[in-house]
Structure 1
Amino acid sequence: MTKTPWHELPREVRDAVQRELGDVAGIEAISEGLNSDITLTAETRSGRLFIKGARLDDNLKARQLRREVSINPYVTHLSPKIRLQIERAGWLIVGFDHIEGRRADYSPLSPDIPLVLDLLGRLSETPCPDIPLRPVDRSAYARPEDLHRFSGEALAHADLNPDNVRITADRRAYLVDWARYVRSAPWSDAAAFAMCLMTCGHTPRDAEHILSTLPVWKALEPGDLDAVAYYQSAMRSTWKPRLDPWTNASVAAARRWFDYRMGLEQA
């Protein structure tokens, strides 16, 4: 996806960023952030920032970035804190503390997995904030008799793919990109992480075993995981093959999970 270079932003926007940050030693464009029109890092007097921007005439991207701004004060114990917010000349610009970390590794035996479990444990203890928070909607693919299983009053990040979890050199996991957060069942993100583990090569049985150490996993009622596996398989079966390996692997993993829950696969 083509992003707008820093020098092509309106002068009014660039000047506003400079005023807010003071002396900027350097700007470096980066490719991360598929849902942003601009992503870059800025070296400032007070530290390094990760900056995302969206054109206000792109309703979806701007809406997603506003959602990140809304939730940020409630999740700074899990995620980078916002230090900059500017709306000028048809652009929304948001700057976060920069996390010097790499993409999480979800493969079997990865030492990152306990760090992500700790992150999920801290997320499960985070109160659901008193802000507009849409409930999770599974009506398109879940069986009607299962819809009640997905509802709840817990805060869910709802997008735990490895790009959204950053591992730092001091072995801490941070959760980024909060554009899709919802109000959901307390085990929602744990089940989503199980789906990610299977996408990265874990068997359904091993993925469920890994998640069983989390207290929220004990909140699962009989039939909940069957409902989740059915939903994941039904939803992903509608996806067309794509060039990115993650998407195709997740379709196959969802099918394996459903077969396992139905007793059609032993692993």
Structure 2
Amino acid sequence: MPDARTIRGVPEVSGLHWEAVPEAHRAVIEARCGQILKAEAVTGGLMPGLAARLHTGDRAFFFKGIPGEHPAARLYRRERDANQAMGDVPAPRVLWSGDSEGWVSLVFEHVDGRDADLSPGSPDLPGVLEAMRRVNSRHAWEDAPPVGDNLAALQEKAAALLAKRPDEPHWAMYAEAVAGFSPEAVTGPSLLHYDPHPGNFQVTRAGVMVIDWAFACAGASWIDVAFLVPRLIEAGHSPAQAEAFVADHPGWATASADAVTGVAALWTLFREYKALHGPEEAKDFRARAAQAGRTWVKHRSR
């Protein structure tokens, strides 16, 4: 049996291989894609379940699947629903999806790309911002969860940390920023990716593709670029440079200062929490993200 541990609040199913997918489920996939000659597990992500590159004689596909009773199966279904509503959004398309034989599975067109470089002066930056424009210019699908549902997890972790009243001065800064946040400020109809980090921007010959839509939702169009700002800071931008870069996004001017600062604090407190209490192997990069977010909140709190 696969091991289980907790990532992002749900048990992670690890140790899964292509053979773990029920035979009847695999047969349907092969009927759609062709005989699978090789299945390579893709590791390194935080999402529970199985990710694999499937190779037929002349083509590759990207597969994601998880047992249907797992709590994270809902995120796979969400990604499927988001994909069906994307229009011209630059993202890999779901070629087949299945919810049977006790599994939820997605088969995507394969993207041959690399993680985006978000450092100052990178030639990838214009393509990343253009991808965000195209994503956020679309309306989310009809039953998309509101971004407030996603932010609720951040608010929960923020409350848990702030209740402990640590001695570090930046904790008071966070508390003030969160106190000024109003959930109504993030409501809206726009399609949001919600997790814009370098690995979710794949630079290909055709341009920047946005992958991994498990947390897609509906909300104010500026949320995605707000979440991009600490990633830019982590990559070497100053807070002022990062904000100047995302200011070219049409939604940025619609955001109130308090809303942006509150979202920045919630994003950062979630990383602070995970750096303290999350999986050991993820603590270092969570801490780096938290430091970038802290720098941004401090900049906005002057």
From 199, 208, 218, give the equivalent of 2:234: 199
Distance 2:226 2:271 in 1: 15
Match of 2:194 in 1: 158
Say whether 1:236 aligns with 2:248.
no
TM-score normalised by L of structure 1: 0.87
Say whether 1:115 aligns with 2:127.
yes
Distance 2:264 2:54 in 1: 42
Secondary structure at the aligned position of 1:28 is classed as strand
The answer for unaligned runs of 5 or more in structure 2 is 1-12, 159-177
Distance 1:145 1:167, change over 3 A: closer
Secondary structure at the aligned position of 1:167 is classed as strand
Distance 1:9 1:232 in 2: 35
Distance 1:34 1:255, change over 3 A: closer
TM-score normalised by L of structure 2: 0.78
The answer for unaligned runs of 5 or more in structure 1 is none
Deviations 1:179-218 (A, max 9, x none): 1112221210011111211122221111001111122112
Q: Percent identity?
A: 25
Amino acid across the alignment from 2:244: H
Say whether 1:212 aligns with 2:247.
yes
Match of 2:80 in 1: 69
RMSD over equivalenced CA pairs, Å: 2.3
Assess if the C-alpha contact under 8 Å between 1:107 and 1:200 holds in 2. yes
How many equivalent residue pairs? 261
Say whether 1:20 aligns with 2:32.
yes
Distance 1:117 1:132, change over 3 A: closer
Deviations 1:99-152 (A, max 9, x none): 111111222222111110010111121123222433424452432653332222
Flag as ranges the 4+ runs of structure 1 deviating above 4 A.
none
Distance 1:209 1:230 in 2: 19
Distance 1:238 1:29 in 2: 30
Higher relative contact order (CA 8 A, sep 6+): 2
Higher helix share: 2
Displacement, 1:155?
Answer: 1.8
Assess if the C-alpha contact under 8 Å between 1:121 and 1:214 holds in 2. yes
From 182, 191, 199, give the equivalent of 1:146: 182
Say whether 1:227 aligns with 2:262.
yes
Distance 1:236 1:24 in 2: 39
Displacement, 1:73?
Answer: 1.4
Distance 1:11 1:129 in 2: 32
Distance 1:9 1:161, change over 3 A: same
